[in-house]
Amino acid sequence: MATPVRWRTTDDNSPQGSLFDADALLDHHVGKGEFRGLEFLHVNARRIINEVPNVSRMPFRYTINAYRGCSHACAYCFARPTHAYLDLDIGRDFDTKIVVKVNAVERLRAELRPKRWGGHHIAMGTNTDPYQRAEGKYHLTRGIVEVLTEAANPFSILTKSTLILRDLDLLVEAIQRADVHVNFSIGTLDEEVWKLAEPGTPHPRQRVEAVARLNAAGVPCGVLVAPILPGLSDRPEQVAAVKAACAEAGASSVSVINLHLRPGVREHFMGWLGEARPDLVPTYERLYRKGAYLRGEAGGGG
């Protein structure tokens, strides 16, 4: 049965105020077949290009997120609090109730009109994975990449999904016309840690293969070895194994990023850890005693 959602008219996370009109929740669809277990909440987004607040330390100014929520279900996901704005919970609802901005492609076409838009770089994958399972059904990311390619607008994509290979031909075309970059997030090659912490994602070895295929096709693809989870994926040999696999795959860059636990995510993550690995709870409480960043690490993006 579809879930009732109390739709808010404001989004505290957006500098532009409301992302959706109050009456923009169009429909609920319950996933069937390969989408069983998911629920899709169709909305009309008022805007699709989001401007990141100046105070943000993120290395990008404009973003597009055609979905909200993410079936990749990473325990540590920093975007979980975005579901709270919709009065959905940031745990299972975030993993299974996916907001789909069904007008994303037509909005983008309108917002890229030359008089309104300066041709800035647009980052995708900053708050949800643009190639999560929903994309297999809705093809919104594909449509967005098509529009950006037609406009020769630079963009980047961050993903954990091999579904991006479906659009390889399109990305090869895009790179002829604009500055385009892909990053895969591959935090570990350890099967146990992967299944525990990122249960909805493709196998990390498949992600490494995707990195190799993108680079071989001429689409520059780097890797974020992220997040490194203390006590789970931080042994030097674990990190070295990911870096070696990335180098072999021809990754255009490799960056290692530690886990950050911001308020909201932290409570969810610690609850998960208490169930999955209670033995590690005291370690995390000690390491993150002073805030979102690992003890001894300076604050930063990522």
Chain residues binding ligand SF4 by CB under 6 A are: 70, 72-74, 77, 79, 128-129, 160
Residues 6 or more apart whose Cβ sits within 8 Å of residue 277: 196, 231, 232
Please state the φ and ψ torsions of residue 215, each to the nearest 5 degrees: -65, -40
In whole angstroms, how close is the CB of 150 to ligand SF4 at the nearest point?
27
The DSSP-derived string for 77-127 is: -TTGGGGGGGT--TTHHHHHEEEEETTHHHHHHHHT-TTT-----EEESSS
72 or 101: CB nearest ligand SF4: 72
In whole angstroms, how close is the CB of 22 to ligand SF4 at the nearest point?
26
175 or 189: CB nearest ligand SF4: 189
In whole angstroms, how close is the CB of 128 to ligand SF4 at the nearest point?
5
In whole angstroms, how close is the CB of 224 to ligand SF4 at the nearest point?
10
Asked whether 211 and 221 are in contact (CB, 8 A), the reply is yes
CA distance 103 to 112: 14
In whole angstroms, how close is the CB of 6 to ligand SF4 at the nearest point?
23
93 or 129: CB nearest ligand SF4: 129
151 or 269: CB nearest ligand SF4: 269
In whole angstroms, how close is the CB of 70 to ligand SF4 at the nearest point?
3
149 or 161: CB nearest ligand SF4: 161
28: alpha, beta or left? (left if phi > 0; alpha if psi -120 to 50): beta
73 or 225: CB nearest ligand SF4: 73
Asked whether 66 and 130 are in contact (CB, 8 A), the reply is yes
Smallest CA-to-CA distance from 65 within 119, 118, 11 is with 11
Task: Give me Rg for the CA atoms of the chain.
Answer: 19
C-alpha separations of 48 from 18, 65, 105 in Å: 11, 7, 8
